[in-house]
Structure 1
């Protein structure tokens, strides 16, 4: 049985419109691949999506170095990681995520795509989304891949994402979903009770169209 995607909210329509606009703009950039082909967690925003969403229109602005240093280093390392914010996946993992994605490389999906997303693993003060312990995850999936499941982990209380490299042992599984039918917008609720302050929400999205696994680090601040 499929779980049901929640109805599209006005905010979701806004996210979709912005994403489609960005896809059009990306098509005009010669070094970008086809970023309209896959998907990403957009709320709380995964790192590549967050950097693109906030700086894609102004990514050459040197003020980013002071205002948003983690996104700055990511743009400097490989701008294609942001233009292709929805391409952070690995094929043929066979469900063995911990073997495919080693400690210290969780946010880059094990340096997937020839290391394109390696800057996502950098430790520092990434821009964080303020959320409550009960929150909603939202996936934007242009290709409507559907999902065999989502696994959502949250770092244990006491982990400091601004100074510590992320390992599997730092994560606690807080939600595993059932299947979702193909849709461009999928959302589901998550409970991460007992957390306060800065954390990483780590999401594994197992797409259902083929053995394709996506890995997302979302920086959050539990209020």
Structure 2
């Protein structure tokens, strides 16, 4: 699905994958679960672009529902997989720490795990070779993505600013729909390592000149980053 010229989305509000499509090639932002690879092939066929146009993968963090088919692309196409330095080990398969228990409702939680099962989410291969990136790096990939360090959800979580499509991809630093409760609106994402640090990291989005703020779970936010952070803070204050 095309969100805007050059900005494509695979999957749904439960788990999403995004593509930055340019004349020079394609950058994949997060790779969902292994079963999303078929969605990728269908999307590329629909827009008339071959798989060989993919130049690289950038992961917002190393959790299994974001690295899904990254190893397959690395192995089959020889493209680099880039991730925040603090999440390199997690992307290679290191077990993340236990996180505090999150609120949940039976229906949305079962829906999340059922969808994950359909997309082969219970056996996600580690990425054998990753390239660590750091805050401020501008990547030599289509769209010239810029890395914004956003620790909190995980130690190496990053946001990825792509001015070419006027979007910033924030991974799980926030969500606009909780996969565990079904509640919509900007809010903390479940399974976060350090929620206080995650919340503080959102200030790094303020002032960005974008039309889209794109989480890994939930609907993309079509608007400026400041309005999203304001909505998040208002919801945060209500929860206290």
> TM-score, structure 1 length as denominator?
0.29
Between structures 1 and 2, the one with greater strand share: 1
